[in-house]
Chain A
Amino acid sequence: MKAIVIDDSRTMRRIISSILKGVGYEVLEAGDGREALDILTENPDTDLCCIDWNMPVMDGLSFVIEVRASREWRNTTLMMVTTESERGQIVKALAAGAHEYLIKPFTPEAILQKLELLGLLPIEENA
């Protein structure tokens, strides 16, 4: 399975990537929403995007709106991973088309629980 981790913090990208690789994902990384759109265009088979909210160039919400506007990426699951924890922001992201929402700080277990809920844990992890 393939994922794109989108966060302007290299530290956070590395943490999330490490968790995803640990359960068998091939992981690509982007530092902002615009870069992620370019990667997604080249990788339309991407299963999952983990998206920070506050980023330069293109923020996470704008990225979600762009992705959901294209039928090409309708099978890509979008999960916000962000410090934005206001109810209004969560509603806004879900209304724009995000499937799940995880608030920082998170534990590796919390990410894996979200993947399980989304049916995106690779088979051997689900067993």
Chain B
Amino acid sequence: MTSGNTTLDGAGAEAGVTVDKEQILSIVQEVLSAMLDAGEVLVFESDPHGESDNDLYAWVDMHMVLPMGDLSARAVVRTEAATANVITQSLLMMDPSEEVSTEDLADAFGEIANVVGGNVKSLIDVPASLSLPSVSAVGSDALSGTFLQDIDLNWRGMPLNVSLWILTDATEWS
């Protein structure tokens, strides 16, 4: 699940669409550096860390119109609820002792997925549209379709995972 270069399956491959781990890492570093860490790069690739019961998932879908047919893909950011809490406090410039509301957490963590997904979309050299972000504590809501690529990360000592999926069912596009 963590190989280097990966080509999008089927129609994507024919269009020459590729996304590799290094590109995802570069995007996440740019996003977190600009949005959370005042220009510092504090996120790095880490050893794999599996899913836990405390994980939250935020994702956006990309819908590409290719000459050989439409293709939908999903970018998912996964982390523990405690880390999503810290992300929210950082984004909203809250004191660490301040309580984070469920609404703020969903909005802030979803926005991270939105910006990561939007930048992944920019790697794909075909016209594509982006969905609004979704957030869930249920892995099966997010991790849907055919696995394409992922990278395990360490941000300020906390685990993050970014994964890409090909949506095999057109009804999954939202």
Mark A residues whose CB is within 8 Å of B. Answer: 8-12, 14-15, 18, 54-56, 82-86, 88, 104-107
Q: Give, as a whole number of angstroms, the nearest-CB distance from A12 to chain B.
A: 6
Q: Looking at chain B's contact residues, is the secondary structure mostly helix, strand, loop, or mixed?
A: helix
Contact of A85 among B92, B108, B118, B131 (CB under 8 A): B118
Among A11, A84, A88, A106, the residue within 8 A (CB) of B34 is A106
User: Would B118 and A104 count as touching, CB distance under 8 A?
Assistant: yes
Interface flag for B31 (CB, 8 Å): yes
Stretch touching chain A among B16-24, B78-86, B122-130: B122-130
Bound: A85/B119 CA distance, A: 7
Q: List 6 A-B contacts (CB under 8 A).
A: A9-B110, A11-B107, A54-B129, A83-B119, A85-B121, A86-B128
Contact between B122 and A85, CB atoms less than 8 A apart: yes
How many interface contacts (CB-CB < 8 Å) are there between A and B?
61
* B93 and A86 form a contact (CB under 8 A): no
Contact A11 to B132, CB < 8 A, known contacts A86-B122, A107-B34, A107-B39? no
Contact yes or no, B118 A9, CB < 8 A? no
- Verify A8–B118 contact, CB threshold 8 A: no
Q: A9's contact among B33, B93, B114, B128, by CB below 8 Å, is which?
A: B114
